A and B are shown apart, each in its own frame.
Chain A
Amino acid sequence: MADRGTEILRVEHLKKYFPVPNGMLHAVDDVSFTIRSGETLGVVGESGCGKSTMGRAILRLHEPTAGNVTFEGHDILKYDKHQLKSLRRDMQIIFQDPFASLNPRMTVSEAIEAPLLVQGLYSRRTGKEALEKRVREIMDMVGLSNRLVNTYPHELDGGRRQRIGIARALALNPKFIVCDEPVSALDVSIQAQVLNLMQDLQDRLGLTYLFITHNLSVVKHISNDILVMYLGQMVEKAPSEILFQKPLHPYTKALLSAIPIPDPDLPMERISMKGEITSPVNPARGCRFAKRCPYATEACTSQDMEITEQEPEHFVTCLRVQRGEI
């Protein structure tokens, strides 16, 4: 694990609560991690675990309720409107749904031009040629044929649309990109193309990814480290090899055991989970997985959870693991 890049993003005790009719929805509750430059942190969890909210809170697309986000040594939660706008050049996002994340009234070139124009890097009046050249450059980079410049998103398939989404994110030469389920809406063969493209771009441009997904095979493939979330809480974080070989948290174990393996000779040995899912609205103290956890004790729900580094680089928030009981 030697020779890894320098830290680019540090997130500490990040919280995002939403007011809902019957209380506070704890979408993200006390998540902390760091990402090194040029690496990929995978974030996995089931729907509603707060992984997308977390990605948006880091970019301040949702204002975090509490916590710190430090990007290249600067506390970006203190940035004013102006600073935030320039921050968008360094931090970008790729969205899940390539059908919903593009303005249907904009052509491919208009969509890719938009970030360049908004940030004032190019002008349609004075630098039309430079702008068009840059758009073509970006389109080449993501493998979009130049003849598509004047097409509209509804005329393109999911794979190409997602390439436009990636092109938009890359247009400003960012350092850090939040990838919010970028391949979940794509077919298997297209998904592989897009994953390869994202890896190539990372190698070429030295990008850092926060890769959010529910697909465990994809996350293992693309990530250096993996963070597992459950109902807003961070459950476990470890280098991806270690997480799959030696998961510590009972939820991670159950989650990994539920993946259907595409090999008939490797039957699944599913760890079944019983019990009801805790509501993230005004949740009680302690571990939110406790109700479904086969190892839960009274102590699990009577005190707040803490993140500890159980082994080097391997963080876990399970009380019983921390006590060495399981």
Chain B
Amino acid sequence: MDDVLLDIKNLSICYSTEDGEVHALNNADLTLHRGESLGLVGETGAGKTTLARGVMRLIPNPPGKVVGGEIFYDGRDLLKLSEADMRRIRGREISMIFQDPMTSLNPVMTVGDQILEVINVHHPDLPRHEARKKAEEMMEMVGITSSRYEDYPHQFSGGMKQRVVIAIALACSPKMLIADEPTTALDVTIQAQVLEMIRDLKEKNNTSMLLITHDLGVVAQNCDRVAIIYSGEIVEYGTLHQIYKETLHPYTEGLFGSIPNLTSNIKRLAAIDGMMPDPTALPAGCKFADRCKYATDRCRTEHPRLLEREDGHKVRCIRYESSGEVTENG
């Protein structure tokens, strides 16, 4: 398929700690199409951020290590690139927005100069006044008047800082944006503004986006496709409609049951019992089996494959193995 921008195949990442090997990401498969938004949903420790860092090749080594897999970006395997080539890709082709706008800006540099710096790094021959003009344009684009070019980060509110972070990320018109919980630290009204802005900019520049979040509401309002990650594995992948309306995996079902619903009245939430398995001692079978109400003995011993249905909806659960419409995949 030509319209695939990012294709992650069997990516596994480990961290070695004093308590043992942490299997943060296990054989993850993920596809991001051009111009599309993919929501990556999971809980703390599921491996969302590890996956994002893996794509950027920013896994701190040691203790982290990519133990296997391939990351095809625009047909090239990022894991095989030299560090110098990778640097050219970071920021220019793939940009990343981090969760905490408070700590991702340099406090002793004006916000304008921070945007300018990114432009300079990737376009060193651009004359200074033109680069500055571009930086000011970026500020206007994210809704900050360029008269605040000389202001320092502490003079901005949280939502405004996140706008600056976004301006930096988009300064070189990247083809792909990785947003790691970009609005988690923000208030709900500010979150709505920031997400709306990201959406507009994305459409304008035809950027693809990997949106990492734990909020199913944010995904529903901003993404085209969704991947659900649990214990370092992609357990379900499909279009927004497939995930929200034709939910297959019991974990996804559990997630939906766990969020209080604004549009209906339930007295008690259908919580998932138990908690995520210890990543240093993962169970042999399905990672979710211990918390799953459908689990059988087979689930605990046999590791389920990621199955793909005809409509492209993928699920990692043996309950769907026997149904005829499913074809195997990896």
Contact = CB atoms under 8 A, between A and B. Distances in A.
Contacts of B263: 261, 263, 266
Contact of A255 (B189, B222, B265, B266): B189
B260 A214 contact: no
Given A189-B43, A192-B258, A214-B187, A262 B217 contact: yes
B188 A258 contact: yes
Given A261-B217, A262-B216, A188 B43 contact: yes
A196 B265 CA distance: 14
A192 to B, nearest CB: 4
A270 to B, nearest CB: 5
Given A192-B270, A258-B191, A259-B217, A159 B262 contact: no
A268 B192 contact: yes
Contacts of A220: 260, 262
Contacts of B275: 157, 159, 189-190
Nearest to B213: A260
Interface in A192-232: 192-193, 195-196, 199, 214, 216-218, 220-222
B261 A199 contact: no
Given A187-B43, A188-B43, A217 B271 contact: no
Nearest to B222: A260
Contacts of B218: 260
Interface string B202-246: 000000000000111111111000000000000000001100110
A217 to B, nearest CB: 4
Nearest to A268: B221
Interface stretch (B71-79, B148-156, B249-257, B321-329): B249-257
A254 B275 CA distance: 36
Given A187-B44, A260-B220, A261-B221, A270 B262 contact: no
Q: How large is the interface on B (under 10, 10 to 19, 20 to 34, 35 or more residues)?
A: 35 or more
A77 B260 CA distance: 36
A244 interface: yes
A302 interface: no
A239 B61 CA distance: 54
Given A199-B268, A214-B187, A264-B221, 17 more contacts: A46-B190, A187-B43, A188-B258, A189-B271, A191-B258, A193-B271, A193-B273, A195-B269, A196-B271, A214-B188, A217-B259, A222-B260, A258-B192, A261-B263, A262-B220, A262-B244, A262-B256
Interface of A: 46-47, 157-159, 187-193, 195-196, 199, 214, 216-218, 220-222, 241, 244, 254-255, 257-268, 270, 272-273, 277
The 6 closest A-B CB pairs, nearest first, are: A260-B217, A221-B260, A192-B271, A192-B258, A46-B187, A258-B192
22 contacts: A47-B187, A159-B275, A187-B214, A189-B272, A191-B258, A192-B269, A193-B271, A195-B260, A195-B271, A196-B268, A216-B262, A221-B261, A255-B188, A258-B189, A260-B192, A262-B215, A263-B220, A264-B221, A264-B240, A264-B245, A270-B192, A273-B189
